[in-house]
Structure 1
């Protein structure tokens, strides 16, 4: 059974796919009411699943008539630059790395097999060192894999 976060994510992604321009606007409270959850649950889904490293741009307007505007980053350079900046400046958990890799797969930048290989390369089983160093190493491995996409195979 899917968790509420998965259901909200799926709903928002379907809305984005059905939009003409890859942009949706929706009330945070309306969304929370639709799924019978707290607005903080909506915030959690937005920050963990709709970040720039996942290929999205979020505008949030708070207040009584507050709304959320979600845009799909359609420009490849914008998406990759966002991911590169994030990986260069942060350590990442496996789940964060998986979300980046899954987004690359969803966008068609990598094949199912490449996704499988990359996920195994950044898994905890592959990185047999302490946690903080593991998360830093994971970010470096993923960053170097992404850099390899821009190189010509000579």
Structure 2
């Protein structure tokens, strides 16, 4: 059975898919009322499932007329997408963010399922022989950026 976060995420993605401009504006309190949950649940879904790594920009305005705007970001071409991902990674990247980046590459058709699976396999934390999570983040970033550079210039 799916949990409420999954249901809210799917609902918002379906609205985005059906919107012409790849942009939606929602009121957090109205959405919370619709799903019979607390507004912080809406915040949780938006902050964890609609991140830049997953291809979304979120803007919000607090107050009585406040809103949350979710924008689906599309790259002009694969090379731009790879470059954008390299910039997002920076010097270090967490396991979760790395997985989100790879999923986005696959969802946008920049990598095949096989390439995505290979990328997932080489960022597996059990491969890094260290107990230092920060060092793993640096190694993961370097490996991921190297793969993206290769993909970017072989297209």
Return the TM-score normalized by structure 2. 0.86
Shift of 1:81: 4.6
SS in 1 for 2:90: helix
Distance 2:141 2:3 in 1: 27
Distance 1:81 1:33 in 2: 40
RMSD: 2.0
Distance 1:83 1:46 in 2: 20
Shift of 1:16: 0.9
Distance 1:37 1:80 in 2: 37
Return the TM-score normalized by structure 1. 0.86
After TM superposition, where is structure 1 displaced by more than 6 Å over at least 4 residues in a row? none
Distance 1:7 1:92 in 2: 28
Alignment of 1:67-146 (within 5 A): 67-76=67-76, 79-89=81-91, 91-130=92-131, 131-146=133-148
The answer to whether the Cα contact below 8 Å between 2:82 and 2:152 also exists between their aligned partners in 1 is no
SS in 1 for 2:150: helix
Alignment match, 2:44: 44
Unaligned runs of 5+ in 2: none
Q: Bigger relative contact order, structure 1 or 2, given CA contacts below 8 A and separation 6+?
A: 2
Superposed CA deviations along residues 9-45 of structure 1, whole A, max 9, x for unmatched, are: 2111111111112111111111122222222222222
Alignment match, 1:151: 153
Distance 2:56 2:6 in 1: 17
Unaligned runs of 5+ in 1: none
